[in-house]
Structures are given as C-alpha cells and as structure tokens.
C-alpha cells in the first residue's frame, strides 16, 4: 500500500515537471489542458454513502470536450479498475462502485490520473492531471454487542452499589469520533430500577436496588448501546439475573407461645403441649436448613428440671418439680448457622391449678367455660439492628405473646405516632418496615407496642432498632467537566499544581480517594484532596490538549468519574513564574525597608550629636546677645530719652563733666565717620571674642560713672566710643539712605535708656 502510494506520487511529480517544461517551451501560447485554478492536482471530497452512478464532480480543465471540441479526457491505462470514470464528451467524473471509509464494502480512498489530449496539436499532444478523491465517514454502522446476551447469578445479600457485570461491551465500526463513541443505558422496564451502568461510557453494571429471593427469583432487563451520530444508531441486548437465596431469615415457630401441663401425680414424663406440638422451620425457601431445639437456661431458671428433644421439640420433666407452674424459653436454631435462631415461650401449669391461673373468656355461667391466660408479651424488651437499605415491606421482628390460640382477636398498635411513618405492626405481631431507613438522619428508633384483646386486656413491650449504616451514596463531583491550563515552557518546577477537583459523599464517615485514568495519566498525580500535580515535564509531548478521566471512590467502592481536559496555554507559563517572581520581589522590598530604616536612624543620630555638640556655642551666642543688651541698657535710664539730650543736659553729670564728654563725643564721632568700615568690623570681632571681658569692664565703668563722672571721663568716652561704633555699624549695614540722613540718624537712633525690645541686634 505504501509502496503504491509512493510510486503514484513520483509519477505525479514527473508528469508535472514534464508538462511545465513543455509548456514553457511553447511560451504559454496554448492553455488547453491546464486547470482553471492554476494548480497541478484536482481534488474532490465525497461522502462514503454517495450512490453509484452519481457525479462526483466536474473536472475544471481548460478546453472544450464536446463533439467539435479541442480536448479529449480519459483515465490513464493503469486506472482502468478504478471505481470512477469520465463520462464521454463531458468533464464529469462518475462513481462506478460503492465507497466505504472503513474499507470493507469498497475502497477507502481513490487516486487516479486523467489524461488530457490536445486535439490538432503536434507539439504537446497530451497532459496528465492527478485527481485525488477524499472519502468522508458517515454514521453507517450501529454498535455491536460482544458476547451478548448476558446472564449472571447474584446472592440476595449482594450489597447495593456492587459492580455485578464488567464485561458488557459494544463496538462501533465507524471511524474514531462521535460516530464510533458508544454510550450504554438500561432501557425503562419493570425491573430497570435494579441495575444501572456506573458510567455511560463504560459497560460496567452495578446493583441499584436490594434483592430478595423470597419476593423475586429472577428478572430480565434490556440494555442499549448507542453511538453519538445524528441521528444515532443503536443495538439492544438482554441481561438475565438469577437471584440466589441467602441465609437472611431467622427460623420461625408456628406459634409464639405454647401452654403445657405437668404430668399427673407429679410424676416425671413428657409434657402435653397446646395448641400443637412445638415446631419451627427455616424461612429461607432456597436453603431450608435443619432446626435444632434447646431450652435457654439463662432465660429459664427452672431449665434444669426439663429436657427437650433437639430434633422433635418434645419437652420432658426429668426430675420432681414441686412448684405449681413454670415458664420455659425454647430456642430454635439453624444447624448450619448458629446466629440464625428464634425464641418461643412455654407456660407450664398443673392441671388442678389450671383454672386458678386462667381468666374466663366469657361471662357464661356454664361449667364448660373456656379460660385464657393473662395477656402478656413473651419478651418485654427487644433490641435489634437493621440495615438502612432494607427494602420496604421487610419483616423486622416478631412480637410473640402468651396467647397461642387465635391471634386474629389481638390488635397491635405503636404508641409513638412519629414512628408509625417508619414501622407498622402486622396482624400476627410482626414489625414491618414501612419507610426507608436513613442512618444519616436517624441512627436509632425507640418505640412501644401495645397489644389488646377483645376483653380489653393489654400489654406493652419496648423496641429499640439500631440502624446500620450502608454505603448508599455515590461520590459527586462539584462540576461535570474540568478544564485546566498547562504551561508551554520548561521553566516551572516539578511537581507543580495544575488544578483541583472536588467531590463529596452523602454517607457519614466515608473517605473519598481519587485516581486518574487515560493515555497520558503517567505525567500527572492526584492526592487525597483532589489536587492534581504535573510530575513530569511535557516538552516531549507534542499535543495541544490532554484528556483524562478523574474517578472518585468512597470507602464502599462506589465511584463516579468526570472528564478532565488540560490545554497547553502560554499564559499559564507566566502564571507559573508568578509565585517565584513575587517571592523575589518580597525579599527585595523587605531589604529596601531595612536599608531605609538604617539610613533614617543614622541621620537621626548625626543630628542628635550635632545638637549636643553645638549646645555650648549656642549658650555663648545667647550670652553675647545678653551682654550686648546689658552693655547698652546700662546707660539707658529713660527709654524715651535720646542721646543728644543725655549729652547736652548732662543728666546727673556736673557741668564740667558734660563739656568734657561733649568734646570727646565730637572727636570720637568724627573719628568713627572716617574709619567706619575698619572699626565696625574690628568692634564686632572684639565683642564676639571678648564678650565676657567687655561686660565686666563696662560694668565697672558704669559704676565709676555713677560715682565720679569727671574722674572717669576717659572710661566714659570709651563706652561712648563702643556705642557709637555699634550704632555706626548698624547704620552702615542696614541703611541705604543719604549720608546726611545717616548722620542725623546717629544721634536719633541711640537710645541709652531704651528697652530690650528696641535694642535687639542681628549680626550677618
């Protein structure tokens, strides 16, 4: 097959090259036998169900094929057996044999060569044009069951949810795709509620409803396999189920209670039993196990005085018994299963005392009155366990009384009204299940049953029913379909979480486990929480999508499956890098914060040290200002008095001292104006460097002036010199007025007795 295809391909290439060379030699003067599209191959697509004789298509070849045409078309000699032919005088390609995509009833593909002859041309007489016919599949095959019909045998104790058949399978012959994908289902019917398919895409059947051999011996259901075509094709088959009886029933006495009489004269011997001899049987019809009888010594204190035949159930007094009455509890047990048993009571009385322990049944005064024992339950309390999946209508428990006679005269009732929804009492004292039990809702039922006869005598007993949990819930996925993205590059770390599925189970205490199935499931793993991890790189897997099946299984082997699709996505690659990028960014950010804190702490410490180191100089500067203030204020008596008044009037000075100071002031003032620039700078530096000394000297001079203004005129002149320098410096630096205005301001700006607020000096 492959060799023929290669040969056809090589011939096609050779023909095309030859045609091209010949055409170029003619300079394209003749376009006959060329394809209208300009290509070298003609292609057709047809369905496999096309009818024989139908036109596949028209060859788009340039030229006229009519009677007076200029070209002639025919198949190559090697393609004479092909399922197609060219209708004479036309360009139509006709189907001559059936096609079949599966290759069973006809060819699955057609490849022929059409020869185009140029009429009336000697240069290039003919061309060969390859024609490829592709055949598409149609839904022409129905699924076919393998090994059908099916037959199985099940025990009636088979647990609901058990997989009972895994070999059911149907195959569709169509090409892979929707036409060959098979879905399984159980068709509706009388017994269709007993079984179901675990998954529509798998041929595995599970038990859906509890079986009971006593109610149903066998049943048949109809199965269907259907493809996904439109319309779909299907085929049906049957499943026959035979139910095997299981030992699920306890033996049963013919009567719940018996009455017996002691032998006459107190002798030993067999007891006479009423109303009939003791008899019990196995209720499992398919088993019918043998029964053995025994006296329960734990429930019968007088058991040592009696014996019972284990096969016949006859009771015998084996030693002298002086009491007037006794009660025995007889046990009937299956010989093959000691856990299957039932109990009955035997009330034994002496014949001469029989009437004293009986109650008249009627008020008739006739001596032939009938007597009946006092009404009571044989067992006042019962406690049993029942599976929550027990079918409705099941007999759970028998409540025997001491009335072995006609039980139709007894009426039973449940005293707790809320329990009547779940249970009912049958005509003969059987507790019957009326509603499905549910362990998830109620784990224990406790109620009382009253029995009453036609004489209004009554008795009660207490019943406790423990519900046994059964795995009756399938796991359920949160979504019916999951789709996750996978990275394209190899920068991610292995294992990498790529998604998560979630499932829940309605059964109490059930644990769900997950597993993956599929062709590429080895690349992934799933944990108990449903998280899916990529455990191997995908660089060797050349696929754009990966399809798997996720299955959730609970503790009872119930399972549910959902499809999962993984899509290769470049965005997922960037997302895979995101966590590591965030980690690096977080580390860098923390480092940046630490560096900023260290720098802030360092700056704070530097400033703190500078403040402490500059504190003495600040105190000196403050002293300088204070000394200047004190120096000036030591001569200022009146804040409103100007300097020329102080000199002219003399204040407290004598006239001689005033004239001396006036002449000194004129001299110094003249000197200051000529040397203002040099003196002002020198005076400021002198005060800054020797402020302490200047203060002490000035203070001393002030005291001397107060004492003797004439004697200390020289010192006073010095003081005035200092003041004039200070004032001159202030005017020199802060004034930009005319010189005359500055001179006048000298005498007006000095306030020898001014306040501190008006004498604040600022140095630049």
Residue 486 near residue 404 (C-beta atoms within 8 A): no
**The pLDDT value given to residue 84:** 92
**The pLDDT value given to residue 369:** 40
Residues of the chain with CATH 2.60.40.60: 144-244, 362-468, 476-568
Q: Can you say whether the dihedral through the CA atoms of 574, 575, 577, 579 is positive or negative?
A: positive
Instruction: Give the helix/strand (H/E) hosting 226.
Output: strand 218-226
Cα–Cα distances (Å) from 88 to 74, 85, 94, 460, 642, in that order, read 8, 9, 10, 104, 143
pLDDT band at 332 (very low <50, low <70, confident <90, very high): very high
Helix axes 570-633, 676-689, angle to 10 degrees: 100
Q: Name the least confident of 80-89, 434-443, 455-464, 667-676.
A: 667-676
Is residue 597's pLDDT more than 90? yes
Q: Can you say whether the dihedral through the CA atoms of 518, 524, 529, 530 is positive or negative?
A: negative
What is the third-level CATH fold of 362-468?
Immunoglobulin-like (2.60.40)
Q: What percent of the chain has pLDDT over 90?
A: 21
pLDDT band at 119 (very low <50, low <70, confident <90, very high): confident
**The pLDDT value given to residue 500:** 93
Evaluate whether the domain defined by 144-244 bears CATH number 2.60.40.60. Answer: yes
pLDDT band at 225 (very low <50, low <70, confident <90, very high): very high
Q: Whose CA is closest to 672, among 587, 732, 595?
A: 732
**The pLDDT value given to residue 619:** 47
Name the more confident of 295 and 746. Answer: 295
Structure tokens at 708: 């003797």
**The pLDDT value given to residue 67:** 82
CA 621 to chain CA centroid, nearest Å: 77
Is residue 463's pLDDT more than 90? yes
pTM of the entire predicted model? 0.39
Q: Residue 68 — left, alpha, or beta (φ > 0 → left; ψ -120 to 50 → alpha)? A: alpha
Structure tokens at 761: 């000096």
String of DSSP letters for 137-193: --S----EEES-SEEEEEETTPPTT-EEE---EEE--SPSSTTT--EEEEPPSTTTT
Is residue 373's pLDDT more than 70? no
pLDDT digits (tens, 9 = 90+) for 120-165: 776 677 889 999 998 888 888 899 999 989 999 998 888 888 999 9
DSSP symbol at 427: T
Q: Residue 21 — left, alpha, or beta (φ > 0 → left; ψ -120 to 50 → alpha)? A: alpha
Mean pLDDT value across residues 739-759: 39
What gap in Å lies between CA 373 and CA 261, rounded to an integer? 13
Residue 262 near residue 273 (C-beta atoms within 8 A): no
Mean pLDDT value across residues 713-733: 44
Q: Whose CA is closest to 216, among 150, 286, 264, 280?
A: 286
pLDDT band at 228 (very low <50, low <70, confident <90, very high): confident
Is residue 729's pLDDT more than 80? no
String of DSSP letters for 574-610: HHHHHHHHHHHHHHHHHHHHHHHHHHHHHHHHHHHHH
Coil/strand/helix, residue 354: coil
Give the long-range contacts of residues 598-602, CB within 8 A, separation 24 or more.
Answer: none
Print burial letters for 325-352: b (CB count within 10 Å at least 16), e (below 16): ebbbbbbbbbeeeeebbbbbbbbbbbee
Query: Which residues, listed in sequence order, are joined to residue 185 by a DSSP beta bridge?
Result: 224
Q: Whose CA is closest to 223, among 248, 208, 245, 203?
A: 203
pLDDT band at 614 (very low <50, low <70, confident <90, very high): low
Residue 101 near residue 137 (C-beta atoms within 8 A): yes
Mean pLDDT score of the chain, rounded to an integer? Answer: 74
String of DSSP letters for 641-689: --HHHHHHH-TTS-HHHHHHHHHHHHHHHHHHHHSHHHHHHHHHHHHHH
pLDDT digits (tens, 9 = 90+) for 358-368: 444 444 434 44
Mean pLDDT value across residues 59-63: 90
pLDDT band at 558 (very low <50, low <70, confident <90, very high): confident
Q: Which class would CATH give 2-136?
A: mainly beta
pLDDT band at 730 (very low <50, low <70, confident <90, very high): very low
Q: Which class would CATH give 476-568?
A: mainly beta
Q: Name the least confident of 135-149, 223-237, 294-308, 608-622.
A: 608-622
Coil/strand/helix, residue 130: strand
pLDDT band at 100 (very low <50, low <70, confident <90, very high): confident
Coil/strand/helix, residue 406: coil
Q: Whose CA is closest to 347, among 293, 302, 382?
A: 302
């Amino acid at each position: 097959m492959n060799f023929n295809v290669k040969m056809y391909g090589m011939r096609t290439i050779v023909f095309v090259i030859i045609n091209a060379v010949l055409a170029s030699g003619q300079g394209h003067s003749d376009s006959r036998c060329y394809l209208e599209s300009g290509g070298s191959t003609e292609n057709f697509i047809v369905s496999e169900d096309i009818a024989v004789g139908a036109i596949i298509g028209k060859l788009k070849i340039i030229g006229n094929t009519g009677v007076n045409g200029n070209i002639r078309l025919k198949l190559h000699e090697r393609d004479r057996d092909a399922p197609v032919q060219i209708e004479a005088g036309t360009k139509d390609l006709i189907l001559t044999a059936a096609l079949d995509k599966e290759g069973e009833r006809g060819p699955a593909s057609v490849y022929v060569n059409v020869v185009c002859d140029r009429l009336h041309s000697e240069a290039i007489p003919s061309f060969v044009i390859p024609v490829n016919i592709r055949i598409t599949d149609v839904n022409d095959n129905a699924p076919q069951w393998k090994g059908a019909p099916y037959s199985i045998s099940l025990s009636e104790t088979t647990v609901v949810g058990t997989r009972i058949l895994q070999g059911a399978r149907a195959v569709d012959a169509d090409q892979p795709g929707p036409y060959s994908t098979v879905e399984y289902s159980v068709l509706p019917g009388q017994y269709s509620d007993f079984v179901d398919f675990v998954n529509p895409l798998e041929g595995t059947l599970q038990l859906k409803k509890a079986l009971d051999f006593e109610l149903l011996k066998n049943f048949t259901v109809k199965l269907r396999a259907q493809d996904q075509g439109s319309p779909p094709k299907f085929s049906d088959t049957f499943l026959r189920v035979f139910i095997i009886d299981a030992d699920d029933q306890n033996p049963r006495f013919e009567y719940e209670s018996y009455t017996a009489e002691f032998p006459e004269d107190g002798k030993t011997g067999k007891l006479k039993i009423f109303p009939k001899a003791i008899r019990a049987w196995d209720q499992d019809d398919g088993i019918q196990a043998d029964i053995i009888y025994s006296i329960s010594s734990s429930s019968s204190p007088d058991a040592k005085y009696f014996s019972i035949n284990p096969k016949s159930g006859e009771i015998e007094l084996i030693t002298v018994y002086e009491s007037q009455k006794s009660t025995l509890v007889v046990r009937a047990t299956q010989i093959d299963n000691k856990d299957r048993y039932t109990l009955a009571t035997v009330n034994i009385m002496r014949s001469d005392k029989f009437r004293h322990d009986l109650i008249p049944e009627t008020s008739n005064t006739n001596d032939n009155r009938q007597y009946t024992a006092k009404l009571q339950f044989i067992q006042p309390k019962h406690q049993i366990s029942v599976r929550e999946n027990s079918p409705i209508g099941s007999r759970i428990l028998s409540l025997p009384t001491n009335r072995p006679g006609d039980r139709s005269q007894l009426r039973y009732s449940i005293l707790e009204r809320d329990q009547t929804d779940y249970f009912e009492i049958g005509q003969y004292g059987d507790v019957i299940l009326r509603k499905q039990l549910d362990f998830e809702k109620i784990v224990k039922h406790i109620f009382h049953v009253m029995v009453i006869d036609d004489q209004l005598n009554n008795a009660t007993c207490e019943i406790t029913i423990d519900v046994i949990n059964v795995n009756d819930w399938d796991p359920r996925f949160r979504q019916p379909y999951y789709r996750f993205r996978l990275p394209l590059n190899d920068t991610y770390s292995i294992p990498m979480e790529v998604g998560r599925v979630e499932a829940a189970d309605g059964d109490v205490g059930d644990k769900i486990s997950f597993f993956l199935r599929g062709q590429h499931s080895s690349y992934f793993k799933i944990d108990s929480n449903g998280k899916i991890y990529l455990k191997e790189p995908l660089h060797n897997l050349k696929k754009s999508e990966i399809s798997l099946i996720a299955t959730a299984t609970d503790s009872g082997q119930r399972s549910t499956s959902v499809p999962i699709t993984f899509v290769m996505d470049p965005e997922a690659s960037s997302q895979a890098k995101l966590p590591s990028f965030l980690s690096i960014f977080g580390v860098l950010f923390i480092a940046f914060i630490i560096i900023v804190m260290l720098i802030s702490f360092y700056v704070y410490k530097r400033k703190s040290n500078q403040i402490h180191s500059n504190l003495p100089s600040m105190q000196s500067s403050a002293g300088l200002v204070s000394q200047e203030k004190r120096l000036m204020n030591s001569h200022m008596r009146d804040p409103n008095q100007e300097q020329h008044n102080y000199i002219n009037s003399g204040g407290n000075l004598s006239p001689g001292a005033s004239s001396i100071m006036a002449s000194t002031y004129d001299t110094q003032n003249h000197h200051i104006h000529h040397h203002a620039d040099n003196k002002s700078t020198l005076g400021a530096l002198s005060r800054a460097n020797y402020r302490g000394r200047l203060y002490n000297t000035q203070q001393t001079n002030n005291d001397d002036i107060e004492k003797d203004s004439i004697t200390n005129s020289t010192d006073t002149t010095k003081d005035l010199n200092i003041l004039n320098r200070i004032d001159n410096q202030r005017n020199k630096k802060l004034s930009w007025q005319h010189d005359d205005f500055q001179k006048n301001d000298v005498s007006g700006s000095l306030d020898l007795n001014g306040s501190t607020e008006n004498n604040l000096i600022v140095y630049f």
